[in-house]
Copies of this chain bind each other. A is one copy, B any other.
Amino acid sequence: MATAQKLPKLINGVAVDSLFATIDAIKATPSIAKFKFRIKNQWEDAGQNSSTVDKFSGAGGEQSRPKPFVLAADEPPILLGKDAAANPVEHLLHALASCLTTSMVYHAAARGIQIEEVESTLEGDLDLQGFLELDKNVRRGYQGIRVNFKVKADVSDEKLQEVIQLGPGHSPVFDSLVNGVPVTVTGERL
């Protein structure tokens, strides 16, 4: 007698059975939902520095990776760098875009909504008078960020708008950036 092989059910590439199993596990033991993400950054020269991303904790333990990721940063020449990498405020836009996209895709999967394509463009306004302390009325950070999504999915126009709003409705980076995060900065001599 042939035994039916149970394949993982993938929607948008997301193993939804595993997603629901994770939700059940967290309902039973909420403490496993607590994660700590970490990086280590090393300055190189002027605007150049890089971060190493490796272990994190979550799901009740320390989680390792086969190999660490290295993320670089620099500034363009007009901002006195050598343009060896994207700059910090561009990395911030990437963090936002990637989190909005993943949040949309995962939560659509959980609702059984298949998505075919997603792309987004982001633009943020920054006035250097803040960074350079030339005008106290100008903030140092982004004054505003605009995100526009284009999504291909076989759903109604109304449902498409619901899908797009799954991103801002769930994204950890969106919440962090819109509502703010307490950040402590300490330091000592190397």
Measured CB to CB, the residues of A under 8 A from B are 10, 12-15, 18-19, 22-23, 26-27, 30, 33-43, 45-49, 51, 53, 56, 58-59, 63, 65-66, 69, 71, 73, 75-76, 78, 80, 83, 85-103, 105-106, 115, 117-135, 138-152, 157, 160-161, 164-165, 167-168, 170-190
Contact = CB atoms under 8 A, between A and B. Distances in A.
A190 B37 contact: no
A160 B189 contact: yes
Nearest to A164: B187
A65 B81 CA distance: 12
Given A43-B118, A88-B102, A177-B183, A37 B126 contact: yes
A40 to B, nearest CB: 5
Q: Please give me the 8 A-B residue pairs with the lowest Cβ-Cβ distance, nearest first.
A: A13-B46, A149-B187, A141-B176, A141-B175, A88-B99, A73-B98, A164-B187, A43-B118
18 contacts: A13-B48, A15-B80, A33-B138, A34-B125, A41-B120, A41-B122, A53-B93, A58-B128, A88-B96, A88-B98, A141-B175, A141-B181, A149-B186, A150-B189, A150-B190, A151-B187, A168-B185, A177-B181
